[in-house]
Amino acid sequence: MTPTPDAMSPVSRTALPVVLVRAHESTRPEPLFTDPYAARFAEAAGLPAELPERARREGLAAALAVHIVLRTRYYDDRLLAAGTEQVVLLAAGLDARAYRLDWPGGTRLWELDLPPVLEFKEQVLDAADAVPSCRREVLPGDLLDPGWPRRLVAAGFDPQLPTAWLAEGLLVYLSAEQAAGLLTAVGSLSAPGSRLLMERGRDVSRGPEDPALAHVTELWQGGLGPETDQWLNAHGWQARTTSLAEVGAAYGRPLPEGAGRTSGFIEAVRTAEG
């Protein structure tokens, strides 16, 4: 049966434009990363073969495309640099890092997301005969269900070992209460030395308006907002923020005018017992 993403929730479906951006970046002459599965996901979802013109010019769509490209490479590098045997992708979506990154031997990676997302993903990967470069575990479930940490441990996760956690493009879709609950659960599972990667909090009350992207921006709840790093510092983490402009400069991709000047990324190191 041909896989479709029709059963995905509106938030889960935001993974589809992300893979389209990743597929486009992979075809550039000097890409920041190559994701050979992004185009397969896009094709299976019935997306157009080309990135929409507005995402290549200016405005919010173009700014989000730049953000997606830079965060993908940044998180690639920081996950590998973490040097942990355990990696957890929270709301993994259509992330193919288990397949496309050169993980050290012994790495075990868990992907957590809702069942419809993972079902669509598995069908596409199976059709591609994809083979992970690490020990990959798939854990269907809802991160708003307080039972997910117990299920992760039951699936072999060891809270006594340092872990690299990735919450890519996730917290902005949660309320402040939901975000705090999720990060509290992550902290309870994180041994000292664990690392947590996520975007800098966004103030969605003053977000730019773009009617063409209302189906995405209307889903934003803001998470913990611009005080995300302060919350982490007060709850057993030491957080460091890197601006999008710094990441762009480091990778030889200066930001276009007006693109993501206030956005960036947080890398937090666990300093306290969970």
CA count, 13 A, side-chain hemisphere, 8? 21
Give tens-digit pLDDT for 181-220. Answer: 999 999 999 999 999 999 987 776 665 566 566 667 677 7
Q: How large a percentage of the chain has pLDDT more than 70? A: 87
Q: What is the pLDDT averaged over residues 211-238? A: 85
Residue type, 44: A
In contact, 37 and 96? CB cutoff 8 Å: yes
The DSSP secondary-structure symbol of 140 reads E
Give tens-digit pLDDT for 146-181. Answer: 999 999 999 999 999 999 999 999 999 999 999 999
Distance of CA 239 to the CA centre of its chain: 18
Query: Is residue 56 predicted with pLDDT exceeding 60?
Result: no
In contact, 73 and 32? CB cutoff 8 Å: yes
Distance of CA 29 to the CA centre of its chain: 25
Give tens-digit pLDDT for 106-139. Answer: 999 999 999 999 999 999 999 999 999 999 999 9
Write phi, then psi, for 205 (nearest 5 degrees).
-70, -20
Instruction: Identify the pLDDT of residue 63.
Output: 80
* Mean of all residue pLDDT scores within the chain: 90
Q: Take residue 168 and report the two structure tokens written for it.
A: 């890519």
Query: Is residue 242 predicted with pLDDT exceeding 60?
Result: yes
Query: Where do we find the tokens 């969970």?
Result: 274
The answer to which of 57-66, 70-79, 226-235 has the lowest mean pLDDT is 57-66
**What is the set of domains in the chain, with CATH numbers?**
71-270 (3.40.50.150)
Instruction: Identify the pLDDT of residue 272.
Output: 79
